[in-house]
């Protein structure tokens, strides 16, 4: 239990290396100490990408044999570190791992639940002091589908580094940007959109950032549109603003909803002052709220019409851009991380 007169709290986390390849969790972990929440990390896999101000204990050798004992090890280390709570941001370990850790309260970070699968039993654990999710849509689904007590749920969105992602003038070109996953639920529609746009505007250019699959490149060649495509590949997150600045329009074609997640790329594009075209799925809520883009039906022709409109209409592009920049300001990582820390402290102190 956290003493009421204690200004700071300490969290302990048991993770694989995966969560800190996620930029959102990385930003939270490195910023929480600024707001009175110290974090100690226990990594089973070891990692070179942990936030520099986070203490961690890598286990890179013999991890196959140690995994069954990580719960016990974590419990011992958490006791030594005198942590006030356990920050559960990675649920890849067996349930036994969490059961043998003791009665320490849990802060569960849940940003991409799969509502088409049975719930992870950990969400019903009596030790869970708070479940933090990034959107109201996820919160409502946890209440309605999994019957989670609303009192245990808090919404804290992801953020954007507004010092890195800065507004810049919209260029007078025909560059169209997409970055992110090339999973089929996005790449199939993306390919159709590219083909349709280039039928109408042969001078347009698509810039693709991420791990582009071979089948996708083969299709670009087959459709003879590869010459209008710049494939950048994977780049560090810090390099994205430079590429956004080169483009006039950013697009997010998506065939299906993913449970109401928070696509951080959208808030990054807004912060940089770029109008957005996106399909009408649950994740487009942020475009609806901000007025920073055009939402279309889930078909290539509708997306193409919206993209062409933004290539041609300076006033429309500028209007959507300004709305996005204003909206993104409320999602600065310092504001978001302060709110996240406040909820953690209040949750632990109320026990």
Question: Which one, of 153, 117, 115, lies nearest residue 136 by Cα?
Answer: 153
Q: What is the pLDDT of residues 265-288, one digit of tens each?
A: 999 999 999 999 999 999 999 999
Query: Is residue 145 predicted with pLDDT exceeding 70?
Result: yes
Q: Residue 176's beta-bridge partner residues?
A: 206, 249
The CB density around residue 20, as the number of other CB atoms within 10 Å, is 24
CATH number of 9-159+333-349: 3.40.50.2000
pLDDT band at 5 (very low <50, low <70, confident <90, very high): very low
Q: What is the pLDDT of residues 109-125, one digit of tens each?
A: 998 888 888 888 889 98
Q: What is the pLDDT of residues 55-104, one digit of tens each?
A: 555 555 545 555 556 666 666 766 776 788 888 886 655 565 666 566 78
Q: What is the pLDDT of residues 11-67, one digit of tens each?
A: 877 666 555 567 888 889 889 999 999 887 776 655 555 555 555 555 555 455 555
State the average pLDDT over residues 192-217. 97
Higher pLDDT pick, 179 / 83: 179
Question: Which one, of 178, 250, 255, lies nearest residue 212 by Cα?
Answer: 178
- Within 8 A by CB and 6+ apart from 31, the residues are 333, 334, 337
Please report, for the chain, how many H helices and E strands are present, in that order: 13, 13
Q: What is the pLDDT of residues 285-317, one digit of tens each?
A: 999 999 999 999 999 999 999 999 999 999 999
Cα distances (Å, whole numbers) of residue 307 to 104, 197, 312: 52, 8, 9
Q: Which fold has domain 175-331?
A: Rossmann fold (3.40.50)
Q: What is the pLDDT of residues 241-265, one digit of tens each?
A: 999 999 999 999 999 999 999 999 9
Asked whether 50 and 43 are in contact (CB, 8 A), the reply is: yes
User: Domain segments of the chain: what residues?
Assistant: 9-159+333-349, 175-331
Query: Matching CATH topology for 9-159+333-349 and 175-331?
Result: yes
């Amino acid at each position: 239990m956290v003493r009421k007169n204690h200004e700071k709290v300490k969290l302990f986390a048991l993770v694989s290396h995966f969560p800190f390849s996620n930029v959102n969790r990385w930003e939270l972990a490195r910023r929480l100490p600024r707001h009175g929440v110290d974090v100690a990390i226990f990594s089973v896999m070891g990692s070179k990408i942990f936030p520099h101000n986070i203490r961690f204990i890598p286990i890179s050798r013999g991890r196959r044999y140690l995994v069954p004992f990580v719960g016990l090890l974590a419990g011992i280390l958490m006791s030594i570190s005198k942590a006030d709570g356990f920050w559960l941001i990675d649920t890849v370990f067996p349930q036994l791992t969490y059961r043998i850790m003791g009665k320490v309260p849990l802060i569960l970070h849940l940003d991409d639940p799969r509502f088409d699968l049975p719930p992870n039993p950990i969400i019903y654990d009596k030790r869970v002091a708070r479940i933090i999710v990034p959107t109201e849509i996820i919160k409502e689904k946890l209440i309605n589908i999994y019957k989670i007590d609303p009192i245990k749920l808090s919404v804290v969105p992801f953020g954007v580094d507004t010092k890195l992602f800065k507004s810049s003038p919209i260029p007078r070109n025909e560059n169209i940007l997409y970055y992110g996953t090339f999973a089929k639920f996005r790449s199939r529609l993306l390919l159709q959109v590219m083909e349709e746009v280039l039928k109408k505007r042969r001078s347009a250019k698509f810039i693709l950032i991420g791990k582009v699959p071979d089948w996708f490149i083969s299709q670009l060649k087959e459709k003879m549109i590869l010459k209008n495509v710049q494939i950048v590949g994977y780049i560090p997150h810090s390099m994205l603003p430079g590429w956004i600045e080169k483009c006039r329009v950013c697009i997010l074609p998506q065939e299906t909803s993913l449970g109401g997640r928070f696509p951080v790329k959208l808030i990054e594009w807004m912060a940089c002052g770029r109008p957005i075209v996106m399909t009408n799925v649950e994740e487009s809520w942020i475009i609806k709220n901000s007025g920073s883009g055009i939402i279309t039906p889930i078909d290539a022709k509708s997306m193409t019409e919206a993209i062409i409109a933004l290539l041609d209409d300076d006033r429309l592009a500028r209007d959507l851009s300004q709305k996005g920049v204003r909206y993104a300001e409320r999602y600065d990582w310092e504001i978001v991380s302060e709110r996240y820390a406040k909820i953690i402290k209040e949750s632990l102190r109320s026990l």
